[in-house]
Structure 1
Amino acid sequence: MGLIDVLKSFKSPSGREIRILLLGLDNAGKTTILKQLSSEDVQHVTPTKGFNVKTVAAMGDIRLNVWDIGGQRSIRPYWSNYYENIDTLIFVIDSNDKKRFDEMNIELGELLDEEKLRKVPVLIFANKQDLVTAASSEEITRKLNLDLLRDRTWHIQACSALKNEGINDGITWVASNLKPASKK
C-alpha cells in the first residue's frame, strides 16, 4: 500500500491540511525520508541548513505537509518555532549511531515534555536498518525508555530511508492515529 492509498483510506474533512513535523539529530535521514515520500531522487541529499517544507501528497482536498527541520545542534533551539498546529511528530533516529543514543534520548525527551506537543502522536523511525550493525527497534525502545511512555500515542517503525523500506508502514500508522480536525 503506497502513500496515496493510505491517504485515500483516511477520512478527512474537506480542505484538511495534515501537518507533520520531521525532527531528529543531524545525519539521521530526515531529508531522505522526505525525498522518498515525495518520490524524489535520494542519491544526492545534503544536510538541511534550516528547513524543508513539502506537500508530499494531495488527495482531493487533503494536503499532507511535512516540515523537515535540520538536526544540527545549532538549529535545534529553533525547533520550537514549528510546534504550533502539528498533527504528528516524526522523530528519526540513526539506528547505526549508537554513540549518540544518549543525545537522541535527551532531545526526544525534551520534545515529549513540550506542552504544545503533549497530545500529538509520535512516530519514531528507526532508520538505517539496512546496515548490519544497526540497533533493532526493540533495542532502541529499551535505550530510549520508550516503553515507559504512558501518556501519549507512539510507535517505533524500523525503516531504511535509502531503500524506501518501512516508510509507508510508518505513514500508515500516522494516518490511522490522526485526531479529527477541530471545528473552526
Structure 2
Amino acid sequence: MSASNLRSAPEKELRILLLGLDNAGKTTLLKQLASEEVTQVTPTAGFNIKSVVSDGFKLNVWDIGGQSKIRPYWKNYFENTDVLIYVIDSSDKKRLEETGDELTELLLDDKLKSVPLLVFANKQDVVGALKASEIAECLKLVKLMDRTWQIQGCSALQGTGVKLQQILYIVHGWFNVLDGSNLNRQMALGNVID
C-alpha cells in the first residue's frame, strides 16, 4: 500500500519489511513489538508475519530469514513495502562490511526506491557493541539522499529501544497521516539515536 492510499483507507495499514543478516535479532525484535515472550527464539528458515495494531495503525511486519542462502529471495518481498526495517548486530564487527553490502544492495533496488529506512543497531547490551552513530558512519548513511532514514540503538532481547510507540512516532512523521497529508518521501532526512 502506498502512502497516498493511507489517506483513504478506513484502516491505516502498513507493510513493513524486516531484514538483516542471520543472528542480527530480527525475530526477537518482532516478538518484542508483538509483546510476545523472547526467551526462546529459533532462526527464521523462511519468513514470519505478524500484525500489530496500535494507535489506528495495522502494521503488517514481514520478518524474512537472513541466512546467506535465503537472501537472494528477499527481493520477492519488496513489492508494496511502506517501511524497510534493517537490523544489525552491533556486537559483530566482523560482519559489519557484509551487512553494509547487503543494505546497499537493498537500497539500490527499484522496488525499494525512496522507501523510508529504519535501522536498528541491535545488541547494545553486549559489551563492546558499536554505537548507532558509529554504525551510521561505517555504513555512510548520511550520504542517503533518496529516502528518509533513521538509525537507533536497541537491545531486542532486553526490549530497550524497540517500543512500538517509537516506530509509530516514526511512521507518523514519515507519512503525516493524522492530518491526511503525505510527507515528501524524496526528502532526505536522517536521524541517529544512540
TM-score of the superposed pair, with normalisation by structure 2: 0.82
Query: Is the contact between residue 20 and residue 90 of structure 1 (CA under 8 Å) also seen in structure 2?
Result: yes
Deviation (angstroms), 1:174:
3.2
Alignment-mate amino acid for residue 43 of structure 2: P
Partner of 1:28: 24
Mapped contact 1:87–1:178 kept (Cα < 8 A): no
Deviation (angstroms), 1:21? 0.1
Task: Say whether 1:147 aligns with 2:179.
Answer: no
Partner residue in 1 for 2:60: 65
- 1:14 aligns with one of 10, 15, 27: 10
Partners in 1 of 2:38 and 2:115 — Cα distance? 29
- Which stretch of structure 1 is more off in the superposition, 51-60 or 159-168? 51-60
Structure 2: stretches of 5+ with no match in the other structure: 1-5, 181-194
Identity, % of aligned positions: 57
Superposition pairs of residues 106-121 of structure 1, within 5 angstroms: 106-121=101-116
SS in 1 for 2:74: helix
- Deviation of 1:13 (Å): 3.7
Select 1:55's aligned residue among 30, 47, 51: 51
Distance 1:113 1:19 in 2: 19
Provide the C-alpha distance between the structure 1 equivalents of 2:68 and 2:48, rounded to a whole number of angstroms. 17
Distance 1:179 1:21 in 2: 20
Q: Deviations over 1:40-81 (max 9, x none)?
A: 110000000000001022555x42100000000000011001
After the TM superposition, list the runs of 4 or more consecutive aligned residues in structure 1 that deviate by more than 4 angstroms: none
Partner of 1:93: 88
CA distance in structure 1 between the partners assigned to 2:92 and 2:75 by the alignment = 25
The alignment covers a number of residue pairs equal to: 172
Code of the residue aligned with 2:87 in structure 1: it is V
TM-score by length of structure 1 reads 0.87
Q: Please, which of 34, 39, 43 is the counterpart of residue 43 of structure 1?
A: 39
Cα distance per residue 1:93-137 (max 9 Å; x no partner):
000000001101100000000101012100000000111210001
| Counterparts in 2 of 1:147 and 1:53: CA distance versus 1, 3 Å | same
Residue by residue, what CA displacement relative to the aligned partner does 1:10-49 show, whole Å, maximum 9, x if unpaired?
A: 9884133211000000000000010001111100000000
List aligned pairs for 1:67-86, cutoff 5 A: 67-86=62-81
Distance 1:29 1:12, change over 3 A: farther
**Number of the residue aligned with 1:176:** 173
Instruction: Structure 1: give runs of 5+ residues left out of the alignment.
Output: 1-9
Displacement after TM superposition at 1:178 (Å)? 3.1
Tell me how large the CA RMSD over aligned residues is: 2.1
Is contact 1:159–1:166 with CA below 8 Å preserved after alignment?
A: yes
